Structure 1
């Protein structure tokens, strides 16, 4: 009678030990702040807070930049091209700093040369009689003037232009309506983003020469 095979014991399979890995939290990656986000960021000035601008919603042509510019006017001259809706600050080496501007009706009336007689920080504003007549519901409340501040339509700074010692009524100023920069508007002169008028103000001393181009001269200085 055959004998049963001897029982052979095999070692038990090793018990599965799960491998636990400790995952270290990664620091949050911040998107780099672009140059323009810094230029058009929030500014605290004179007790006022100028809001940051969303540069993704601003046309590239309206962002401040240095350009090639051919002109016989000396360095430091401000050249306003209201028809192209740009303002140029002449720099050395055939360059200029270009700022986008919004242009009101008054900004198209004057052309030629003038000087910045004086400058103002957070200027006071009073609507003209024509503005009050045209839109009394909006402007009549400010007939006695509006103190400087973030609600003031002249914005953070203003340059007042005179010719032959007389006020031209032509102003280069900031705005509390940044969406109007680069466009035509019904009132006002030449308006810049508040961040841009702050920059221009620093580089434009009182007495600086200003040249306002007419339609025939428009667009002839800047080279691509």
Structure 2
């Protein structure tokens, strides 16, 4: 072999070493990565921006919410009469009982220690874009809340969100609320201070469906279907 031929051969080998091959592990990892989830347009519309609200709501990034917690009609045989709200605390669902063994189901978040009240009560009244007043014991635990002792003005940063439904046991305020949240990624988790939180778009929908004095049942353990 001549020196020229040897140099040509080495150059060809060098060029071959720069070529992309199917054995490149980085490319293999990229090609095997799962595709981004495709969100049903039905749900994209359900959780779209709501610019008509007093404080315009942005769209929900549904990639950060487990689809099982999207608002949906489900089979729900129960002894409760239609129109009743049932909070299934362990499973993080709120049901609005409908006719024919069905219910409209919403995903919820609950308190870190669990929604520690259970039983039967009623929705005494509702408020759109309510003020939030932290209880004195909460302020004692979180002194940074002192500026809101007399209430926080409504808005996107208000912990009660776009709507609040106030739970009373007889004529006694239980201090618990069903309310909206901007932190939609917390739905299905135990993170709040004790109330039942829904995606703002969901709590707006719920508040429009239930009148004052709607009965509510809060299930705490393994009571099963009400």
Q: What CA distance in whole angstroms lies between the structure 2 residues aligned with 1:55 and 1:105?
A: 23
- CA-CA distance at 1:117 after TM superposition: 0.7
Q: What CA distance in whole angstroms lies between the structure 2 residues aligned with 1:48 and 1:119?
A: 17
Counterpart in 2 of 1:112? 119
Q: TM-score normalized by structure 2?
A: 0.78
Q: What CA distance in whole angstroms lies between the structure 1 residues aligned with 2:101 and 2:130?
A: 33
Structure 1 residues 203 and 83: alpha-carbon distance in aligned structure 2, compared to 1, 3 A threshold: same
SS of the aligned residue for 1:87 comes to strand
Counterpart in 2 of 1:146? 152
Q: What CA distance in whole angstroms lies between the structure 2 residues aligned with 1:154 and 1:208?
A: 20
Q: What CA distance in whole angstroms lies between the structure 2 residues aligned with 1:134 and 1:37?
A: 39
Q: What CA distance in whole angstroms lies between the structure 1 residues aligned with 2:42 and 2:117?
A: 35
Q: What CA distance in whole angstroms lies between the structure 2 residues aligned with 1:144 and 1:45?
A: 28
Q: What CA distance in whole angstroms lies between the structure 1 residues aligned with 2:84 and 2:113?
A: 21
Counterpart in 1 of 2:219? 213
Q: What CA distance in whole angstroms lies between the structure 1 residues aligned with 2:143 and 2:154?
A: 21
Q: Does residue 175 of structure 2 align to residue 175 of structure 1?
A: no
- CA-CA distance at 1:203 after TM superposition: 0.8
- CA-CA distance at 1:142 after TM superposition: 1.8
- Name stretches of at least 5 consecutive residues in structure 2 with no aligned partner: 1-37
Q: Give the number of the structure whose alpha-carbon radius of gyration is greater.
A: 1
SS of the aligned residue for 1:44 comes to coil
- CA-CA distance at 1:198 after TM superposition: 0.6
Q: What CA distance in whole angstroms lies between the structure 1 residues aligned with 2:131 and 2:52?
A: 16
Q: What CA distance in whole angstroms lies between the structure 1 residues aligned with 2:203 and 2:97?
A: 15
Structure 1 residues 32 and 62: alpha-carbon distance in aligned structure 2, compared to 1, 3 A threshold: closer
Q: TM-score normalized by structure 1?
A: 0.79
Structure 1 residues 116 and 125: alpha-carbon distance in aligned structure 2, compared to 1, 3 A threshold: same
SS of the aligned residue for 1:215 comes to coil
Counterpart in 1 of 2:133? 126
Q: Does residue 61 of structure 2 align to residue 54 of structure 1?
A: yes
Q: Does residue 49 of structure 2 align to residue 42 of structure 1?
A: yes
Q: What CA distance in whole angstroms lies between the structure 1 residues aligned with 2:206 and 2:83?
A: 10
- Name stretches of at least 5 consecutive residues in structure 1 with no aligned partner: 1-30
Runs of 4+ residues deviating >6 angstroms: none
Q: What CA distance in whole angstroms lies between the structure 2 residues aligned with 1:32 and 1:134?
A: 40
SS of the aligned residue for 2:139 comes to helix
Higher helix share: 2
Q: What CA distance in whole angstroms lies between the structure 2 residues aligned with 1:68 and 1:177?
A: 28
